[in-house]
Chains A and B, each alone.
Chain A
Amino acid sequence: MQVHITGTMVLQVVVSGLLVGGLYALVALGLSLVFGVMRVINVAHGTFLMLGAYVTFWLFDLYGLNPFLSILVSVPVLFAVGAVLQRLLVFRVVNAPELSSLLLTFGISIVLANMAMLAWTADYRSVEFLTGSFVIGQIAVSKPRLISFVTALVITALAFVFLHKTRTGKAIRATSQHREVAQVCGINVGRIDLVTFGLGAGLAAAGGSLVSVMFAVYPEMGQVYVFKSFLVIVLGGAGNYPGAFFGGLLLGVVEGLASLFLTAQLTEVVAYILLVLVLLLRPQGLLGGRI
């Protein structure tokens, strides 16, 4: 079965992919921050995203709240959840062998996902807030995607401002670059860990809220985002935050092209092969950075 693929179709998926890519970049930023500051790969990052999506869904379903506005709720809620988990559990493995933090966050993610399953069933939900597209020339730009992209950009920009212009933000960056030195300089790294983990969860939640507008919401939705966030970080180079942004865009585009030239079923496979190839050929990321 050969479908004639036109330039317009390619352009269409590229645009679409770029829009989704902004979201990926936002979600990846949260994971990257946590890893940079605490050397913890938070496998539960995806479950934070999922919980954020559910917050948005229920606020929309029960109260009709605009999902983009509900970000103002989902972020603080998940910030709190993240902070509590960090304070109770994660802090114990911050300087432990990575195996411990991986397994711990993996365990947490399973508990959270299954609690969601018990609470809300495995049914697929969606937030039917925006539908339809803007038509620009020959391209149909999906409305939810465009608004999500813009929102993701805004949130990412805010995060950058926070990291570069506020004291806490600078402390976070200092800790992620050199933890011992930061401590010696009087930074309370325990508090920074707490804030960073909460921030990571909050960013994931924002991502989740945006995802809920475009894709299905269900308890296991988060898992794939951990993997995608990781892929974004690898593409852009670990520790390279602007690089991660482009990594997100690139992933979105690659997925779009894969679904066009191959089939939607195989986009994950393509993403995986992309990961393996980058790791093999250019482990420092397409834009550099340390591993």
Chain B
Amino acid sequence: MRPAAIALPVLALVAVLPAVLSGYHVSFMIQVFMWIALAGSWNIISGFTGYVSFGHVAFFGIGTYTAALLITKAGWHWLPAGLAGCVPAMMLALVIGYPCLRLKGPYFAISMLGLNEVVRALVSYFEGFTGGGAGISLPPIEAIVPVYYAMAGVAFAVTLTTYLILNSRFGLRLLSIREDEIAAEAMGMNTARLKLYAFLLSAAFPGIVGGFYAWYASHVEPLSVFPLITTITMIIMCLFGGSGTVLGPVIGAVLLSVLQELVWARFLFVHQALFGALIVAVVLIMPRGILGILRQYYPLPRSI
């Protein structure tokens, strides 16, 4: 099976890197894995079905709080606490997705626009529980290499899930929704349910990423874990690499992380503005992302 031939060496490389990289670079790789997982998750709902989720960072944020609370108030170990982040994230996705996915695309997108703010407001409101604006502080982290492996694991899981979906009929159906939802429904597909499944999956992984992030950052507060820039970054990384594909989010995450790190992370507002401009550019000039451009010159299999 060809994909395994590529995947295994990559995994092996990923596994041994911490031994040779400095702490700074390990941190950088953790970020890259985080973005691969986040962009890949956004891809599952928005890349496949065409339903743009503007509030996706809400799932990340909920995951951070879940893990933070489990670690500080229930004494959980960070690994299961992080994994548990997917549960409230999926519950939120269910509660919001059930009504909102019945809407046609643009209406769904706008309803997601408000989601992030609402979740943030709720988290701030229940101060007694969540520490309000000040947030929750966790015990300082000693070794980051375990987090490296955990994030790498999530990134791999998202990519693998995307691959499996894309090569299944579930994936074909999701793509049909993107292509022509009315025709898809007329052909007997229960598009509302299909969208919901995709949405739940797409929310679970950011919940876990958030869960691990809480431990890594040792502090969570509303402002830092529900920022719009995270949604923007997820979206642009996926679009830039090529949405609706397996490797698109990976390529986008890696390239833009590197660019970000080298060039403009210092200037936050320029950073955001540049990403905004990049979104405009990608939509107008390369709507299928880098992978789309490559496809024009080389016959690439659909499965990547």
Contacts and interface: CB of A to CB of B under 8 A. Distances in A.
Contacts of B239: 103
Contacts of B270: 114, 118
Contact of A283 (B102, B121, B122, B272): B102
A277 B275 CA distance: 34
A276 B103 CA distance: 10
Given A93-B283, A111-B277, A224 B100 contact: no
A213 interface: no
A275 to B, nearest CB: 6
B147 to A, nearest CB: 30
Contacts of A223: 113, 117, 228
A230 B107 CA distance: 8
Interface string B197-241: 000000000000000000000000000000010001001000100
A285 B294 CA distance: 45
B100 A276 contact: yes
A265 B284 contact: no
Interface string A90-120: 0011000111101110111111011101100
Given A100-B287, A227-B113, A110 B232 contact: yes
A130 interface: no
A92 B50 CA distance: 19
A244 interface: no
Contact of B278 (A107, A266, A271, A276): A107
A268 interface: yes
Contacts of A93: 283-284
Contacts, number: 130
Given A98-B105, A104-B284, A110-B279, A226 B99 contact: no
B15 interface: no
Interface in B223-277: 228, 232, 235, 239, 269-270, 272-273, 275-277
Contacts of A227: 110, 113-114, 117
B50 to A, nearest CB: 5
Given A265-B121, A275-B114, A279-B99, A98 B280 contact: no
Contact of A102 (B109, B232, B275, B280): B109
A44 B34 CA distance: 28
Contacts of A106: 54, 235, 276, 279
A27 to B, nearest CB: 14
Contacts of A117: 269, 272
Contacts of A113: 272, 276
A291 B104 contact: yes
A268 B280 contact: no
A279 B110 contact: no
Interface in A200-221: none
B158 interface: no
Contacts of B235: 103, 106
B273 A110 contact: yes
A146 B148 CA distance: 57
A135 interface: no
Interface string A139-168: 000000000000000000000000000000
Nearest to A291: B104
B290 interface: no
A140 B235 CA distance: 46
Interface string A216-243: 0000000110110010001000000000
Interface string B94-136: 0010111011111101110111011001101100000000000
A234 B273 CA distance: 30
Nearest to B232: A110
B283 A100 contact: yes
Contact of A279 (B103, B122, B272): B103
Contacts of B100: 276, 279
Contact of B280 (A89, A97, A224, A269): A89
A271 B115 CA distance: 11
B52 interface: yes
A244 to B, nearest CB: 15
A223 B110 CA distance: 11
Interface string B276-297: 1111100110010000000000
Nearest to A227: B114
Given A35-B106, A98-B105, A109-B276, 17 more contacts: A41-B106, A41-B109, A89-B280, A97-B50, A99-B50, A103-B52, A106-B276, A107-B280, A108-B276, A110-B275, A114-B270, A224-B114, A227-B113, A230-B107, A230-B110, A269-B118, A279-B102
> 10 shortest A-B CB distances, which residue pairs?
A110-B276, A107-B279, A114-B273, A107-B280, A111-B276, A280-B99, A227-B114, A41-B106, A230-B110, A272-B118
21 contacts: A92-B284, A99-B105, A103-B52, A103-B235, A103-B279, A104-B284, A106-B54, A107-B276, A107-B278, A110-B275, A111-B276, A111-B280, A223-B228, A227-B113, A230-B111, A265-B124, A268-B118, A271-B114, A277-B99, A279-B103, A291-B104
Interface of B: 46, 50, 52, 54, 96, 98-100, 102-107, 109-111, 113-115, 117-118, 121-122, 124-125, 228, 232, 235, 239, 269-270, 272-273, 275-280, 283-284, 287
